Amino acid sequence: MPDPAVDDFVQLLTPDGERVQHPDFSFDGSDDVVAGYLREMILARRFDNEATALQRKGELGLWPPALGQEAAQVGSVSATRLPDYVFPSYREHAIALHLGVDPVEMLSTFRGTAMVPWTANAEGLHLYSFVIGTQTLHAVGYAMGMQRDGLVGNADPAANGATIVYFGDGATSQGDVNEAFIFAASYTAPVVFFCQNNQYAISEPIALQSKIPLYRRASGFGFPGVRVDGNDVLAVQAVTAWALERARRGKGPTLIEAYTYRMGAHTTSDDPTKYRSRDETEQWRARDPISRVQAYLLGTGAIDQAWLDAVDAESEDLAVRVRQGAVALPEPRLEEFFDHTVIDPGEVLLEQRDDYLEYEAGFADHPDTDAETHAQVQEAF
C-alpha cells in the first residue's frame, strides 16, 4: 500500500514478521524478551475485548478500546523502569496492566463504582486523565521535580529517571500540549512525549489537526521528533529506550509519534462506520501488531503452537476473572466521597454530609414507593 506518511518511520519488524535494519535504531533484546512482549499484547487484547463485551452487556458505562495499539503501548512501557514515571491518557490499558494495575479494579472507573484509585498499587503510574492533553503538563512538572531531586544526568545511569507521557493525535491541537512542549524545552526537562497517532480524534482525521507529520512539530519547539511504526513493538521499544535514556542523561525532551491505528471505536459510544471506510480498516488489519510478532517468533522457533495455546489459556483465565470481577465490584456509598473532597473539610461541608446521612436514614423504615411515584409522574407528563 503506498503511503507517503510512513516512508520516514522507524521500522524493525515488517508486517510479515521479517526483521529489518535501521541506520539509527536497533532492538537488541533476545527472542525470549520478544515472546514476553507477545504474551503481554495478547493478554492486553483479550482484556480489552472483554471490557468491550462487558460494556455491550450493560455492565460498564463506557469503554475506550485500545485494540490495535498494543505494540505502541507494550513496546514503549517496556523501555521504562523506576524511577521513571508514566503519565497515561485514558486508553493506555496495556501500559496499566504492564505496571501492575489490577484489571478488575481498572474497570471500576468505567463501571462507575470509583474515580481513579487503582493506580495506587502500580508504582510509577499516574492516574488516567480524561481531559485531553492535560497530563502532558503534569509530566513536565514531575520531570522538573526529578531535576531538582538530582535524578538527571548522574554518572551512574541507574540513578537517573525521566517521565513519559501518553497522548493522542487530537491532543496535539490542545494548548496544554503545546505549552508542555515549551516548558519542557525551556527547562530541558527529562520527559518523553509519546503520541499515539491512531489517525482519528473520535471522527476527526489527523489531517484536521495537522498539516505536517506530527513528529516534525518537535523541531519548531527545539527538540528531536521521531516517527516510529507504532504497530512494530521492537521499533517502538528501541526508539522509546533511546529517548528515555537521552532524557535521563539530561539532554531534554523528545517527541515520539507512534504511527498506528485505532482498530476499534473511539469508545463504545462511537460508530466508526460513519466516518471511515471498511477498506481502510482492512488495510490496517494487515499491519496488525500482534500477528507480525507471532509470525516472526514462530519462524525463528522461539515459540511454538503449544506456547501459543498456553498463552491462550492464560488469557481465557484473565477474561473469566475480569467478567466475574467486574460485576462483583463493591458498590460505593455517596458519603465516602465527602471524605476525600478536601483534606480539612470545614463545617459547611461536614454539615452537608450529616444532612445527607440524616435524610438517607429517614428512609430506613419507609416502604419503597418509587414504582408508584414513577407511574404518577408518567401520567402527569
Closest approach of Cβ 337 to another protein, in Å?
A: 7
Please, which residue, 15 or 161, has the CB nearer to another protein?
Answer: 161
Q: Residue 258, class by beta-carbon neighbours within 10 Å (0-12 exposed, 13-18 middle, 19+ buried)?
A: buried
Cβ atoms of residues 66 and 44 within 8 Å: yes
Q: Residue 98: which of 77, 128, 127, 120 has the closest Cα? A: 77
Q: Which CB sits closer to another protein, 141 or 153?
A: 141
Task: Compare residues 22 and 353 and give the one whose CB is closer to another protein.
Answer: 353
Applying CB under 8 A, which of residues 76, 89, 119, 294 lies at the interface with another protein? 119
CA atoms within 13 A on the CB side of 29: 20
Which of 5, 20, 158, 182 is in the footprint of another protein by CB under 8 A? 182
* Binding positions for another protein, 122-151, rule CB under 8 A: 126-127, 129, 131, 134, 136-149
Confirm or reject binding of residue 96 to another protein (CB under 8 A): no
Residue 302 is a binding residue for another protein (CB under 8 A): no
Question: Residue 338: how many CA atoms within 13 Å on its side-chain side?
Answer: 16
Q: How far apart are CA 4 and CA 298, in angstroms?
A: 31
Q: Looking up cell 482498530, which residue turns up?
A: 263
CB of 342 to another protein, least distance (A): 6
Site string for another protein, 197-226 (x = CB under 8 A): ------------------------------
Q: Residue 195 forms beta bridges with which residues?
A: 167, 257
Give CA separation, 338 vs 291, 335, 354, in Å.
48, 5, 10
Written as nine digits, the cell of 175 is 494548548
DSSP reduced 3-state for 204? strand
CA 134 to chain CA centroid, Å, is 14
Select from 241-249, 283-291, 308-316, 347-355 the region that touches another protein (CB under 8 A): 347-355
Q: Write down the least CB distance from residue 61 to another protein, Å.
A: 16
Residue 346 lies near another protein (rule: CB under 8 A): yes
Which residues are near another protein by CB under 8 A? Answer: 114-117, 119-120, 126-127, 129, 131, 134, 136-149, 163, 175-176, 179-180, 182-183, 186, 337, 339-349
